[in-house]
Amino acid sequence: MADTTETGNTANYLEKFKSYVKTRKGTILASEILISFIIIILYVSSTYGGYSAVAICEMVFAIIFFGIFMMEMDKQFLLVNWVWSDLFRAAIGAMLYIITSLICVIGGSGDGARIAGGVFGILASIIFAYDAYTIYLEVKSTRQHTAASTDDRV
């Protein structure tokens, strides 16, 4: 007897992946992963690859959050506030990318890969900042809905 549940689960995960990438949050996270991977390649190919640590960490965190949101584990593990965690991840990623990218662009004379990594890092900081902004708007809208008073004594 052949066990067909394994291919069924794989197809189910692939469908979840495809449908999540089509969402706004999925597209943002996928672009963060992709640009971080490009930055890793550029920083590693430069003469000084020490700046690749920021790109590696941010790519790993983006992959983790992509998996959590894609598999809807954020609705199962309620102990962690995933929205605030994602907001801090995106905001810190934007700050770290802008700092390291400006250092690489300003001080990277003669090292084309380092300068290119810095330019892509500036683009990554814009993407991470946009992600943080969209998460902030989501937090702000949920706070306005829950902050309404239901007291009849007013």
- Whether 51 maps to a domain, the answer reads yes
pLDDT at 14: 86
1 assigned to some structural domain: no
Instruction: For residues 11 and 2, give the distance between their C-alpha atoms in angstroms, rounded to a whole number.
Output: 17
Predicted confidence at residue 135, as pLDDT, reads 95
- State residue 1's pLDDT score: 45
Query: Is there a domain that residue 67 lies in?
Result: yes
Question: How would you class 148 by CB atoms within 10 Å of its CB: exposed for 0-12, middle for 13-18, buried for 19 or more?
Answer: exposed
For residues 8 and 33, give the distance between their C-alpha atoms in angstroms, rounded to a whole number: 27
- pLDDT for residue 101: 94
CB 43 within 8 A of CB 52: yes
Residue 96: closest CA among 124, 115, 75, 120: 124
Task: Report yes or no on 56 lying in a domain.
Answer: yes
Could you say which residues of the chain have pLDDT below 50? 1, 154
Q: What is the pTM of this model?
A: 0.85
Give CA–CA dist 140/135, Å, rounded.
9
53 in any annotated domain: yes
Q: Which residue has the tokens 């390291």?
A: 100
Q: How many domains does the chain have?
A: 1
* In the chain, % of residues over pLDDT 90: 68
State how far the Cα of 75 lies from the Cα of 80, in Å rounded to an integer: 10
Confidence at residue 13, expressed as pLDDT on a 0 to 100 scale: 85
DSSP 22: T
Q: Is residue 132 part of a domain?
A: yes
Please say whether the beta carbons of 136 and 87 come within 8 A: yes
pLDDT value, residue 150: 58
pLDDT digits (tens, 9 = 90+) for 83-103: 999 999 999 999 999 999 999
Residue 88, pLDDT score: 96
Q: Under a CB-based contact definition with an 8 Å cutoff, are residues 26 and 66 in contact?
A: yes
Domain contains 32: yes
Alpha-carbon distance of 65 to 71, in angstroms, equals 10
Domain assignment present for residue 73? The answer is yes
Predicted confidence at residue 24, as pLDDT, reads: 94
In which domain, by residue range, is 81 found? Answer: 24-143
Helix (H, G, I), strand (E, B) or coil at 95: helix
Q: What angle do CA 136, 140, 144 make, to 5 degrees?
A: 175
